[in-house]
Structure 1
Amino acid sequence: MPKGPTKRRPQTTARLLEAALETFAERGFYGASIEEICERAGYTRGAFYSNFRNKEALFFALFDLHARRVVERLTRAVDELAEPPDADDVVRAVLTRMSALDETERRWYLLSTEFTLHAVRNPDTARTLAEHDRRLREEVAGLLGRLFDRLDRRPTVDLDTLARLTTAVHEGSLAQSLVEPDELAPEELAVTFLPLLFEAVSQKRRAPRRRRTE
């Protein structure tokens, strides 16, 4: 059986990640120190370095955790669509289910936006971030393919590119909502305009031809 420290590692990691997200959101990626994160989590620096190499490694662990949650929420939204789905409302239905802006999502947006700027200034970090983005985008593209299948439509654009555009609309919409919460609800722009985009970049699948009988 696993010994004590090994059994406790997942709990230690989870507490450090939670503390890091809170501290990063409050202090910023540069402003937050490893000591502050450890103090909030209730651990020593030794516990931190036994789980993470540095703050960048901690961010990428948070990225992967957030990505799993996003994929799980999108998957549930697609799976729970009415059968057969209403082609006019199906995209809106999925986006609406994804539009809840809780405190965790707000903290993640603050952190990820700042870290993206950090990555732009540091090419090695940018390459690592791009690889994590690529893996998440691959999952999103697969889910977009499932959505088109449910709509009985064929995409006319590359799904990876469409996933990039969808992400850009989501993040841009969220930014404007956080700046002007009384003027723009979270995902309002995405829910309004992405369904029109998805219809414009896809075609109704043709029914297979029937063979003539002699």
Structure 2
Amino acid sequence: MPKGVTNRRPRTRAALLRAALETFAEHGFHAVSIEQICERAGFTRGAYYSNFASKEELFLALFDEHGERIVHRLAESIDALAPEEYTLERLAELAARVEPDERDWYLVSMEFTLHAIRDAEAARALARHEARLRAELARGLELVLGRAGRELTVDADRFARLIVALREGGLAQSYVEPGELPPGSLERDFLAPLLEAATRPVLSAPPTPPAPTAPATS
């Protein structure tokens, strides 16, 4: 394959993903045609099908991209903390941040979730991608809690599910009533107490006793 084609492919894919997110957010996942996505991105159907086999596959690529971006943003914010800032309250505050572009993604992802509830094959595909994201969240959570001197007393994957539920349920209410419940409010109010209830201080290992000495010989 010519080098120019190889270099163009990631740019083409990125442009299609960006166009798809914008178009889905404006008109809805089911209402949007592949032709509309191609027109917005400035590519042909051939370019689309060389990257994605279907709208479902394109959405799942958007899901992975969004998840990676959120995890990366949170990891950068946490890594910038000073050692004394590793408190449950500070971690909850960082987790509560909602970027301005989150609303578009929320509209698209919730619509696809409803589609997956009605379609068993889509549900299985979405569940696989959600499981990978939760695994990343669970690993990161255990690492960050360790820095704060705490450890989970519950299953990490189950707790990650609870955090996702708090986030998505809170945003649903916030986007309906932004004046009553600004985005991220529920995490700011309740995530630290939840972490407190589901974790315990890491106990220091007991000191190793000295090795017995051999009796002196005469």
TM superposition score normalised by structure 2:
0.91
Greater alpha carbon shift after TM alignment, 48-57 vs 79-88? 79-88
Number of aligned residue pairs: 211
Q: Is the 8 A contact 2:170 2:186 kept in 1?
A: yes
| Secondary structure of the corresponding residue to residue 203 of structure 2 | coil
| SS class of match (1:107) | helix
Question: Residue 43 in 1 paired to residue 25 in 2?
Answer: no
Query: What residue is the counterpart of 1:101 in the other structure?
Result: 99
Partner of 1:16: 16
Q: CA deviation at 1:188?
A: 0.5
Query: Which one of 113, 117, 129 corresponds to residue 116 of structure 1?
Result: 113
Deviation of 1:57 after TM superposition, in Å, equals 0.9
Distance 1:135 1:88, change over 3 A: closer
Q: Partners of 1:88 and 1:63 in 2: how far apart? A: 28
Q: Is the 8 A contact 2:151 2:202 kept in 1?
A: yes
Q: Is contact 1:120–1:126 with CA below 8 Å preserved after alignment? A: yes
Instruction: State the distance in 1 between where 2:197 and 2:114 align.
Output: 32
2:16 corresponds to which letter in structure 1?
L
* Shift in CA distance, 37/83, structure 1 to aligned 2, threshold 3 Å: same
Q: CA 1:134 to 1:151, structure 2 compared with 1: closer, same or farther past 3 Å? A: same
**2:167: which partner in 1?**
170
Q: TM-score, normalised by structure 1?
A: 0.92
Is the Cα contact below 8 Å between 2:138 and 2:160 reproduced in 1? yes
Highest Rg: 1 or 2? 2
Contact 1:101-1:186 at 8 Å conserved across structures = no
Q: Give the superposition deviation at 1:113.
A: 0.1
**Which residue of 2 is the match for residue 53 of structure 1?**
53
- Equivalent of residue 186 in structure 1, options 161, 174, 183: 183
Q: Which runs of 4+ in 1 moved over 6 A?
A: none
Partner of 1:77: 77
CA distance in 1, matches of 2:12, 2:209: 68
Task: Using the TM superposition, give the Cα deviation of residue 88 of structure 1 relative to its aligned residue in structure 2, in angstroms.
Answer: 4.9
Partner of 1:157: helix, strand, or coil?
Answer: coil
The DSSP-based 3-state class of the residue aligned with 1:154 is strand
Alpha-carbon offset, residue 59 of structure 1: 0.4
Does the 8 Å CA contact 1:85/1:150 hold for their aligned counterparts? no
Q: What's the secondary structure of 1:100's corresponding residue?
A: coil
Distance 1:35 1:170 in 2: 33
| Aligned 8 A contact 2:152 2:198 in 1 | yes
Find the counterpart in structure 1 of residue 135 from structure 2: 138
Structure 1 runs not aligned, ≥5 long: none
Change (3 A) 1:205 1:3: closer
Runs of 5+ unmatched residues, structure 2: 213-218
1:49-101 CA-partner distances (Å, limit 9, x unpaired): 111111011101111110110110121122112213353533233224xx133
